[in-house]
Amino acid sequence: MNPTELVRMAQVVYTALMRVYLKARPVLVGSLCRIENWCDVKEVEGLLKEQKKFTDLVDLYQGKKMHRKALTMLHELAKEEDDKLDRYPPTISYLHKLGVPDLDLILEFSKWILEEDPGIGLTVFTGDEPGILSLPRDTITSFLSSIDRGACEGYLEYIIWTLGEEGGAFHDKLAELYMVDSRVHREEKEKEREEEKEQGEPYTKLLEFLNDSIHYRPYRLMNKLSGQEMPEARAILLGRMGKHEEALKIYVYRLQDYAAAESYCVKAYQSNNNVFLLLLQLYLRPPPPSPSKSKSKSGSTHLPPALSLISKRSTSLPASSVLDLLPPLVSISDVHPFFIKTLREEHRRKLEGRVVRQLGKGRKEEVEGMLMGLEVKRVRVTDQRICPQCHKRLGMSAIAVHAPRGEVTHLHCKDKFSAKLAALRD
């Protein structure tokens, strides 16, 4: 028999076996559909539909790589279900078995679930199956963004915080979505209470993300902000761009949140140790008020927070600069704690330097004494002396002496014996 005849024979046998199972042992039909078989799909398809064995038919389609037919049937069956627990899981489970080669099918047949219930639809792309994890994340992000903003946010949060995605484009996109959420929330609050324009969970999520993530591109996100909206977010982005003065101006003059300004300085101090002095300058030497920013408090000094900063951060502020900035009306009692701490710190540094110098001097003398002791030692090399490395006579060969015990080896044995001594000391 030629290959074509063999295939036809196999189809006849498997199809007949399927008919027998359907009549005599229906419970075995499923196992036959799930294994590799040679049945005539078109004929068996009709038989299974007559018996309403749709689950077995889906398994048959899957085994034959007829994924579109399987997913189409699952979609049709889902239309008859009212309960979400019965409506969506079969399709989601099937999609989880696919991978990159079937990306178009995954997108096509997940769309109806996302449109009906974005939260459940998102689980199509957050499974831990290898096929799902290997899907191109940029394609999935674009697809979800075109359908539902919340689903796109959920996917980006999943790949960033769970899978450790570090791509700047994904971090930028999530921050932009948080910005959109914040604007929507603000517009809703404007209809209720004027004072809550910038508050709420969406804006809080945005600020937390901007503080926690290190992979977004701040200059791109700055361009997404319009006017003077979201000042806290703007301050964080300016800080990431190294524009500390502009960031602190927002905290001091617009928000008047002095605690936030000081917290900002604490975070930025390692990269810029002049940041506390910069904040003090903004407190005591504010720029003149401009007509376009008449609502801000620039132009007037902020003496109470300045004195508080001087008191708490004395070790981070140079005394000479502080004296230059203080206005004449400040009494010595107002800055007494600052000068006491500054003098104590300066005294501590001097004592510490003196101790370090004395320790260094003592160590130097100790090493010099050890060196002199080694230099006065003598080693006698006789004709009978043996090299401890190769165990041969030293004779008239070039030699090497090893400190501190004075072992003598051939010069060419020096490195090996030194390594042996080092290993013994370790």
pLDDT tens-place string over residues 185-224 = 888 877 766 555 456 789 999 999 999 999 999 999 999 9
What's the predicted TM-score (pTM) here? 0.74
Q: Which of 150-159, 195-204, 417-426 has the lowest mean pLDDT?
A: 195-204
**What's residue 11's pLDDT?**
63
The SS3 call for residue 409 is: strand
Q: Name the pLDDT band for 145 (thresholds 50, 70, 90).
A: very high
**What's residue 300's pLDDT?**
59
Contact call for residues 252 and 296 (beta carbons, < 8 A): no
Q: What are phi and psi of 267, to 5 degrees?
A: -70, -35
pLDDT digits 0-9 by tens, 399-413? 998 877 888 999 999
**What's residue 268's pLDDT?**
92
188: exposed, middle or buried (C-beta count within 10 Å: 0-12, 13-18, 19+)? exposed
Q: Would you kindly state where each structural domain of the chain is located, as residue ranges? A: 381-426
Q: Which residue has the tokens 């982005």?
A: 237
Contact call for residues 326 and 335 (beta carbons, < 8 A): yes
Please report, for the chain, how many H helices and E strands are present, in that order. 23, 2
DSSP state of 158: I
The SS3 call for residue 1 is: coil
Q: What is the CB neighbour count within 10 angstroms for residue 272?
A: 14
pLDDT digits 0-9 by tens, 363-414? 999 888 888 877 777 888 888 899 999 999 988 889 998 877 888 999 999 9
Alpha-carbon dihedral sign for residues 208, 212, 215, 221: positive
State percent of the chain over pLDDT 70: 87
| Cα dihedral 62, 65, 71, 72 in deg (nearest 10) | -120
Quick one: three-class SS letters along 55-114?
A: HHHHHHHHHCCCHHHHHHHHHHHHCCCCCHHHHCHHHHHHHHCCCHHHHHHHHHHHHHHH
**What's residue 200's pLDDT?**
76
State percent of the chain over pLDDT 90: 49
Contacts for 260 with CB less than 8 Å, ≥ 6 apart: 232, 251
More confident call, 43 vs 91: 91
**What's residue 376's pLDDT?**
76
pLDDT digits 0-9 by tens, 290-339? 655 545 555 557 888 988 888 888 778 887 787 788 877 776 676 767 77
More confident call, 158 vs 38: 158
State yes or no: pLDDT of 147 exceeds 80: yes
The SS3 call for residue 289 is: coil
d(CA 206, CA 179): 7
State yes or no: pLDDT of 289 exceeds 60: yes
Contacts for 269 with CB less than 8 Å, ≥ 6 apart: 275, 276, 316
**What's residue 343's pLDDT?**
72
Strands (E), 222-380: none
